[in-house]
Amino acid sequence: MTTKLLTTVSAAIEAATGIALIAVPELVARLLLGAGLSDSGVAVARVGGFALLSLGLACWSTADSATLSAVRALFAYNLLAAFYLGYLRVSGEFVAFLIWPACALHAVLALLFARPAYGRASAT
């Protein structure tokens, strides 16, 4: 998989998740975490949705290749998301059926981004 395709796929996933969090934050929380949201939780989830949508749009590759800053941003996001979702599940706080698949998806994306994010750092 090329770095541009990887960046585009990851950006699309983040943008779609952002749109879902903006539109139906309660549903996303139920599916991902198995928990409801308070009124303040809905507000924070929507702001998080704005951030994910913005990340997706900023990292969407329109040039011949993905920029190093977009690749590094998506690597950092996916790595942190994988660790945190794994932590939430292992700690037993959240047990929804989508938490492991989401954790695994972010872990795979982080692994795929690791080399392009830092393997060519000396070349730029």
Amino acid letter, residue 103: C
pLDDT value at 42 more than 90: yes
Structural domain tally of the chain?
A: 1
The identity of residue 64, as a single letter, is: D
pLDDT of residue 64: 62
**Burial readout 102-119 (b: 16 or more C-beta within 10 A, e: otherwise):** bbebbbebbebbeebbee
Cα distance between the two ends of the chain: 21
Instruction: Give residue 53's pLDDT.
Output: 96
Q: Which domain holds residue 102?
A: 3-118
Q: Which ranges of the chain does DSSP label H, i.e. alpha helix? A: 3-23, 25-33, 39-59, 68-90, 99-118
124 inside domain: no
Local confidence band at 122 (pLDDT 50, 70, 90 cut-offs) = very low
Chain segment 11-37, per-residue pLDDT in tens: 999 999 999 999 999 999 999 999 999
Asked whether residue 123 is domain-assigned, the answer is no
> What is the pTM for the complete model shown?
0.86
Cβ atoms of 14 and 59 within 8 Å: the answer is yes
pLDDT in tens, 73-112: 999 999 999 999 999 999 988 888 899 999 999 999 999 9
**Local confidence band at 124 (pLDDT 50, 70, 90 cut-offs):** very low
Query: What is the pLDDT confidence band of residue 120, given thresholds at 50, 70 and 90?
Result: low
